Amino acid sequence: MKQNSVYIETYGCQMNVADTELVQGLLVEKGYSLTQNIDTADVILLNTCSIRDNAEQRIYGRLGNIKAIKDKDPSKVIGILGCMAERLKKDLIEEKKMVDVVVGPDEYRRLPEFIDDAFTGEKGIGVKLSRTETYDDILPYRENGLSAWISVMRGCDKFCSYCVVPFTRGRERSRSLDSIKNEVKLLSQKGFREITLLGQNVNSYSDNGNDFADLLSASAKVDPLMRIRFTTSHPQDLSDKLLYTITENDNICKYIHLPVQSGSNRILELMNRTYTIEHYLNLIEKARKLIPSVSFSTDIISGFPTESEEDHRATLTVMRQVEYDGAYMFKYSPREGTKAYRMNDDVSEEVKTKRLNEIIDLQQSISLTQNQKLIGKQEIILVEGDSRKSSDYLSGRTDSNKVAIFPKQDNIKPGDYVAVKINKVTSATLFGDVI
Ligand code: SAH
Ligand code: SF4
Ligand code: F3S
């Protein structure tokens, strides 16, 4: 029998990237083959994101292109996975007539069955959320490489007032520590050099009395040459124990992504973030005391309902105080079903854009200053491969996840750690020489 080939395109966060590998693992096990060529694929899947309206609009646009492929060859199966599948459910089949399969994040085990049915002309919808599904027993499909994402928990119980994730991903649940440790072992044997432990709020990880610090420490002990990263931490739950665990293990990166969202206590409360800016800044100070080389990145939303110029200035102030290495910065986007959706979206598009631009400009100048502090210093780089712009140069990353570029040497290959002295920087890249 002919093996049907599957093409998957992934949108959204790293959880989706990890889920795509999971789905690929599942499908390969059921006898499907994977392809990178959308034109020849028998099955076209989009793993989608609902976080902001523009994320969904982009995917609708892409569906339009794919419709042309299906029009030419109606035997092809088109499927939507991920957060949009969960949010829009059967609307996707009824509105977008060419979609055959809609499967949300907790029903991927049924995907092969739905695809098989779709070949016989049946539509399939699986969008039930689960309190227990963690896909603990499924090995994600991974090409050989250096970096891997490991999802350690699913869902989110935080219910920040602007956010769809608790609705599209359901309740928090953790994978078992043993299965994660085994996956790290396997990756280490395959030559991977860096893993990132993933969850919407990793600090809520819990398995048989083990918390996230225990998991991090167990993962770090598997292979001292493997860099361990993690994301995302919620400022309310980041424990002292976690900070100690980071200092105690050389191979846990001294880098924390700690989304602040806003610098104004009034807005933080409306966002249901459950911490104050004082708590947040204390946490940063404590982390810096315990881990002197630690650096931070963040997420910021501009133009949340009722945000005043003064609230906006408070955000800029916090950015200057913390001096983030990097930030993901967004305009507020109202999402149906969330608590903030019932608030009046009263900051005009124009003001949102102006504030976002101020935030981006400020962050760019902070990133540059932060990088300039590294000039003359030595950084340990994990070599990834040729630099994008020239094969005379190699590219890799620092412990703090910054890209570093340096002249190629024959004895240095991807996966090596090299000491590089930084001599030039931009806001996004470091340049140096191997020492
Ligand atoms: N669990 C992670 C990531 C959530 S999604 C966390 O809590 O940090 C990534 C980021 O998208 C969020 O941190 C937030 O800054 C942004 N975001 C989420 N919902 C949004 C919305 N409705 N409008 C604009 N930005 C949003
Ligand atoms: Fe969304 Fe908040 Fe959960 Fe992050 S912690 S996924 S922002 S609800
Ligand atoms: Fe998007 Fe879902 Fe991730 S909404 S950001 S893909 S959890």
Assign 315 to helix, strand or coil: helix
Q: Whose CA is nearest to atom 1 of ligand 2?
A: 163
288 lies in a domain? yes
Q: Identify whether residues 299 and 402 lie together within a single domain.
A: no
Q: Identify whether residues 50 and 165 lie together within a single domain.
A: no
- Ligand 2 pocket test, pick from 14, 200, 304, 339 with the greatest ligand atom count within 8 Å of Cβ, gives 200
Percent of the chain, pLDDT > 90?
Answer: 95
69 lies in a domain? yes
Residues 425 and 368 sit within 8 Å (Cβ to Cβ): yes
Q: Helices (DSSP H) in 73-129: which residue ranges? A: 83-88, 91-95, 111-119
pTM over 0.75: yes
- Ligand 3 pocket test, pick from 22, 83, 87, 200 with the greatest ligand atom count within 8 Å of Cβ, gives 83
Give the atom of ligand 2 at the shortest distance from the alpha carbon of 156.
3
C-alpha of residue 222 to centroid of ligand 2, in Å? 30
What pLDDT is stored for residue 282 in this prediction?
98
- CATH of residue 384's domain is 2.40.50.140
pLDDT digits (tens, 9 = 90+) for 305-338: 999 999 999 999 999 999 999 999 999 999 999 9
The helix or strand, by DSSP H or E, that contains position 19, with its residue range, turns out to be helix 14-29
51 lies in a domain? yes
What pLDDT is stored for residue 232 in this prediction?
96
Alpha-carbon torsion angle 27, 28, 32, 37, nearest 10: 100
CB of 63 closer than 6 angstroms to any ligand 3 atom: no
Q: Identify whether residues 85 and 168 lie together within a single domain.
A: no
Give the atom of ligand 2 at the shortest distance from the alpha carbon of 232.
4
Rounded-to-integer distance, Cα 245 and Cα 61, Å: 45
What pLDDT is stored for residue 144 in this prediction?
86
Residue 89 pLDDT > 90, yes or no?
no
46 lies in a domain? yes
Give the atom of ligand 1 at the shortest distance from the alpha carbon of 331.
24
331 lies in a domain? yes
Query: With the C-alpha atoms ordered 258, 261, 262, 268, is the resulting torsion angle positive or negative?
Result: negative
Q: Identify whether residues 101 and 50 lie together within a single domain.
A: yes
Under DSSP, the state recorded for 261 is: B
Ligand nearest to the CA of 301: 1
Kindly report the average pLDDT of the chain as a whole number.
Answer: 96
Residue 93 pLDDT > 90, yes or no?
no
Ligand nearest to the CA of 338: 1
C-alpha of residue 160 to centroid of ligand 2, in Å? 5
What pLDDT is stored for residue 98 in this prediction?
74
C-alpha of residue 69 to centroid of ligand 3, in Å? 26
* Range(s) of the domain holding residue 428: 378-434
Q: Identify whether residues 244 and 163 lie together within a single domain.
A: yes
Give the atom of ligand 2 at the shortest distance from the alpha carbon of 164.
1
Q: Identify whether residues 100 and 168 lie together within a single domain.
A: no
pLDDT digits (tens, 9 = 90+) for 132-148: 999 999 999 998 899 99
Structure tokens, 193: 């050099």
Give 91's pLDDT tier (boundaries 50, 70, 90): confident
Partners of 126 in beta bridges: 103
Q: Identify whether residues 207 and 159 lie together within a single domain.
A: yes
C-alpha of residue 170 to centroid of ligand 2, in Å? 11
pLDDT digits (tens, 9 = 90+) for 9-66: 999 999 999 999 999 999 999 999 999 999 999 999 999 999 999 999 999 999 999 9
Rounded-to-integer distance, Cα 156 and Cα 186, Å: 28
Structure tokens, 140: 């994600």
Residues 256 and 211 sit within 8 Å (Cβ to Cβ): no
Partners of 79 in beta bridges: 45, 101
Ligand nearest to the CA of 56: 3
Q: Rounded mean pLDDT of 119-126? A: 92
Total domains present in the chain:
3
Q: Rounded mean pLDDT of 157-166? A: 98
Domain boundary among 126, 159, 184: 126
CB of 401 closer than 6 angstroms to any ligand 3 atom: no
Residue 2 pLDDT > 80, yes or no?
no
C-alpha of residue 322 to centroid of ligand 2, in Å? 21
Residues 99 and 78 sit within 8 Å (Cβ to Cβ): yes
- CATH of residue 347's domain is 3.80.30.20
Rounded-to-integer distance, Cα 57 and Cα 225, Å: 42
Residues 6+ apart with CB under 8 A from 336: none
Q: Identify whether residues 246 and 105 lie together within a single domain.
A: no
pLDDT digits (tens, 9 = 90+) for 336-378: 999 999 999 999 999 999 999 999 999 999 999 999 999 999 9
119 lies in a domain? yes
What pLDDT is stored for residue 381 in this prediction?
97
Q: Identify whether residues 335 and 422 lie together within a single domain.
A: no
Q: Identify whether residues 253 and 361 lie together within a single domain.
A: yes
- CATH of residue 96's domain is 3.40.50.12160
Instruction: Please return the burial class of 92, using the count of CB atoms within 10 Å of its CB with bins 0-12, 13-18 and 19+.
Output: buried
pLDDT digits (tens, 9 = 90+) for 197-216: 999 999 999 999 999 999 99
Q: Identify whether residues 101 and 174 lie together within a single domain.
A: no
Domain boundary among 372, 402, 424: 372
CB of 162 closer than 6 angstroms to any ligand 1 atom: yes
Residue 190 pLDDT > 90, yes or no?
yes
- Ligand 2 pocket test, pick from 201, 298, 301, 338 with the greatest ligand atom count within 8 Å of Cβ, gives 201
Enumerate residues lining ligand 2, CB below 6 A: 156, 158-160, 163, 165-166, 200-201, 234
C-alpha of residue 234 to centroid of ligand 2, in Å? 8
What pLDDT is stored for residue 1 in this prediction?
59
133 lies in a domain? no
Assign 404 to helix, strand or coil: strand
141 lies in a domain? no
C-alpha of residue 100 to centroid of ligand 3, in Å? 22
Q: Identify whether residues 274 and 394 lie together within a single domain.
A: no
